[in-house]
Amino acid sequence: MRMSELTRADVAHLAGLARIELSDDELDKMVGELGIILESVATVQNAPIDDVAPMSHPMPLVNVTRPDEVRPSLSPEAALSGAPEQDQQRFSVPRILDED
């Protein structure tokens, strides 16, 4: 069980991936709190699961599809109605930093 070995760098990396800005204090705090959460969750690893297939879907269904037929879309006005900013009938978003 390695989850309790969560490091400060791990948390900083995850925060970066999740685009969450954490201060140094918050990072320190999260290392401890996330470590406890992971340890708690890790108890499920003690369950006897040798004969149990992993389950990603609770319903025993496969091949649920729809025919390739066009259905009405939202109007552009409706689609954009929840956007904090819009311009030229497009969603306006902050520039993407340091990536191209």
Partner 1 sequence: MSQATAEATLPFEEALAAYDPVLGLEVHVELGTNTKMFCGCATAFGAEPNSQVCPVCLGLPGALPVVNEKGVESAIRIGLALNCEIASWCRFARKNYFYPDMPKNFQTSQYDEPIAFNGHLDVELADGSTYRVEIERAHMEEDTGKSLHVGGSTGRIHGATHSLVDYNRAGIPLIEIVTKPMTGAGERAPEIAKAYVATLRDLLKALGVSDVKMEQGSMRCDVNLSLMPKDSTTFGIRSETKNVNSLRSVERAVRYEIGRHAAILSSGGKVTQETRHWHEDTGITTAGREKSDAEDYRYFPEPDLVPVAPSAETVEALRATLPEPPAARRKRLQSAWGYSDLEMRDVVNAALVDLIDETVTAGASPAGARKWWSGEIARRANDAGSDVPTYAASLAVTPAHVVELESLVTGGRLNDAMARQVWDGVLAGEGTPTAVADARGLELVQDTGALQAAVDKVIAANPDVAQKVRDGKVQAAGALIGQVMKEMKGQADAAAARQLILDSLTN
Q: Which residues bind partner 1 (CB under 8 A)?
A: 17-19, 56-57, 59, 61-76, 79-80, 82, 85, 87-96, 98-100
Q: In whole angstroms, how close is the CB of 71 to partner 1 at the nearest point?
A: 3
Q: In whole angstroms, how close is the CB of 29 to partner 1 at the nearest point?
A: 22
Q: Does residue 11 sit in helix, strand or coil? A: helix
Minimum CB distance to partner 1 smaller for 44 or for 64: 64
Minimum CB distance to partner 1 smaller for 8 or for 28: 8
Buried b (16+ CB within 10 A) or exposed e, 19-39: eeebeeeeeeebbeeebeeee
| CA separation for the pair 90, 68 (Å, rounded) | 27
CB count within 10 Å of CB 15 equals 15
Minimum CB distance to partner 1 smaller for 48 or for 67: 67
